[in-house]
């Protein structure tokens, strides 16, 4: 191939019919499909993991719209580029429609000033914005822009989607069709599985496999499982320890421990570790879960979790994975009680929002003898002077008498 463009670039679809995947938003009865085909698109923000087809979808729109199409990257562009697009759009000689489509890749990288510069033109319809981001736009994009756009979540491509694209790549002339390639469908499916929904990774791996394999005596380039394995080393993890998937995964990890599912617990732990999550961050989550969700049903869980956190700090990876697994599974398998969690939350709510009264005089401190003359400490009953080391007396302020914060449940044996 004389083309210097990567295979992943050459295989980008030009029409909706060529686009593979995202049927939940691009099916023929779906609104996004209909608006693109009718060229009636309003501003949209596409978000999803790398390689799921955000830029490819923007390219399809650029090929089908009657409006002038601009593309900028938020990493390398700023307000000056936005102003240039606006000026050209409002110039009747350059753009008789008075409207343009502006595709901004990695829009989450735009700061507030840059996003604010877009707002009036998106609002009045001069600019139809297509933003693409791997981050959750509700956290990273100006709320005013969000309210004027349709937010569309793109999912990782399925293994079948990626397999279909790989099959097309070895037959299309603008792909690898000029090479004599022999490869089993099962081998391509294994490559699709390794890519884990990222078609760019799959196509790059296929290209490397083909370009680095010599032709056999039969005139064909034979692509085997071993060649694929060496071309794409490890299964790609759809996990960004600083992004949206970080929060999704840690939420699933905690909820699995809370829900007493040991298999799901260790799965999400493995997913986090494989994605490069900080082991100490995971250890701290286990400590919190041991207190919040296990609590008084098994106080030993907090001791073990805290010891595990110290051990993880001292040992480090890769052995820390074993310590984390032991602690997480112990928490998952323990009986659960959130009595202490609910007790402190309810007490804090009262302290912040109610008139709770004063500390009763008899349990106040009286370090100076004369303070007792004022009633401090007077009438206090020392529990150890009574049978069973317990005596009934008032501890809560008068205004709070009868309030219950700690509610013992069936899992608490104390």
CATH number for 188: 1.10.8.60
Asked whether residue 141 is domain-assigned, the answer is yes
Q: Are 147 and 165 members of one domain?
A: no
Tokens 């990890």 — which residue?
Answer: 253
| CA 136 – CA 139 distance, rounded (Å) | 6
DSSP secondary structure, 342-374, as one string: HHHHHHHHHHHHS---PPPGGGS---SHHHHHT
* Kind plus residue range of the DSSP H or E element containing 201: helix 199-211
CATH number of the domain encompassing residue 36: 3.40.50.300
Predicted confidence (pLDDT) per residue in 391-406, tens digit: 999 999 999 999 999 9
CATH number of the domain encompassing residue 267: 1.20.272.10
The model's confidence at residue 378, banded by pLDDT at 50, 70 and 90, is confident
| CA 50 – CA 56 distance, rounded (Å) | 12
Q: Are 51 and 141 members of one domain?
A: yes
Q: Are 37 and 117 members of one domain?
A: yes
Residue 188: the pLDDT is 92
CA angle 376, 378, 380 (to 5 degrees): 115
| CA 23 – CA 20 distance, rounded (Å) | 8
Q: What's the pTM value of the predicted model, to 2 decimals?
A: 0.64
- Of 79-93, 230-244, 259-273, where does mean pLDDT reach its minimum? 230-244
Predicted confidence (pLDDT) per residue in 87-132, tens digit: 888 888 888 888 899 999 888 888 888 888 888 888 888 899 999 9
Q: Are 227 and 282 members of one domain?
A: no
Total number of domains constituting the chain: 4
Of the candidates 43, 90, 102, 39, which has an alpha carbon nearest to the alpha carbon of residue 65?
A: 39
Asked whether residue 38 is domain-assigned, the answer is yes
Q: Are 33 and 148 members of one domain?
A: yes
Q: Are 205 and 249 members of one domain?
A: no
Question: Three-state DSSP class for 133?
Answer: strand
Domain boundary residue, one of 288, 310, 333: 333
Predicted confidence (pLDDT) per residue in 138-194, tens digit: 888 888 888 888 899 988 889 999 999 999 999 888 888 888 899 999 999 999 988
Question: Three-state DSSP class for 44?
Answer: strand
Q: Are 323 and 360 members of one domain?
A: no
Asked whether residue 371 is domain-assigned, the answer is yes
Asked whether residue 380 is domain-assigned, the answer is yes
pLDDT at 25 > cutoff 70: yes
Show the domain range for 110. Answer: 22-153
Predicted confidence (pLDDT) per residue in 180-214, tens digit: 899 999 999 999 988 888 888 899 999 999 998 88
Q: Are 42 and 149 members of one domain?
A: yes
């Amino acid at each position: 191939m004389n083309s210097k463009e990567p295979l992943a670039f050459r295989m980008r679809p030009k029409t909706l019919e060529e686009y593979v995947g995202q049927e939940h938003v691009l099916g023929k009865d779906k609104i996004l499909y209909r608006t693109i085909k009718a060229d009636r698109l309003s501003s949209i923000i596409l978000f999803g993991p790398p390689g799921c087809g955000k830029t490819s979808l923007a390219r399809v729109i650029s090929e089908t719209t009657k409006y002038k199409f601009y593309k900028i990257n938020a990493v390398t562009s700023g307000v000056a580029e936005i102003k240039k697009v606006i000026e050209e759009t409002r110039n009747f000689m350059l753009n008789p429609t008075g409207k343009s489509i502006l595709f901004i890749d990695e829009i989450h990288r735009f700061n507030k000033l840059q996003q604010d510069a877009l707002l009036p033109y998106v609002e009045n319809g001069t600019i139809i914005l297509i933003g693409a981001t791997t981050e959750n736009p509700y956290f990273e994009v100006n709320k005013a822009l969000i309210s004027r756009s349709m937010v569309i979540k793109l999912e990782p491509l399925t293994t079948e989607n990626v397999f279909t694209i790989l099959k097309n790549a070895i037959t299309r002339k603008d792909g690898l069709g000029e090479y004599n390639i022999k490869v089993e469908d099962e081998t391509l499916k294994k490559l699709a599985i390794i890519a884990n929904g990222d078609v760019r990774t799959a196509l790059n791996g296929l290209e490397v496999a083909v370009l680095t394999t010599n032709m056999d005596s039969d005139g064909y380039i034979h692509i085997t499982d071993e060649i694929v394995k060496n071309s794409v080393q490890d299964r790609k993890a759809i996990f960004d320890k600083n992004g949206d998937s970080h929060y999704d995964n840690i939420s699933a990890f905690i909820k699995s421990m809370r829900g007493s599912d040991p298999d799901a617990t260790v799965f999400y732990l493995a997913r986090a570790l494989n994605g490069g999550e900080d082991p100490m961050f995971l250890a701290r989550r286990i400590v919190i879960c041991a207190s919040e969700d296990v609590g008084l049903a098994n106080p030993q869980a907090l001791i073990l979790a805290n010891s595990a956190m110290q051990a993880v700090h001292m040992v480090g990876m890769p052995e820390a994975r074993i310590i984390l697994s032991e602690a997480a599974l112990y928490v998952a398998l323990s009986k659960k009680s959130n009595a202490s969690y609910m007790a402190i939350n309810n007490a804090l709510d009262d302290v912040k929002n109610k008139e709770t009264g004063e500390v009763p005089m008899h349990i106040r401190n009286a370090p100076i003898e004369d303070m007792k003359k004022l009633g401090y400490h007077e009438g206090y009953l020392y529990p150890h002077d009574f049978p069973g080391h317990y005596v009934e007396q008032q501890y809560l302020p008068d205004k709070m008498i009868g309030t219950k914060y700690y509610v013992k449940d069936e899992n608490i044996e104390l």
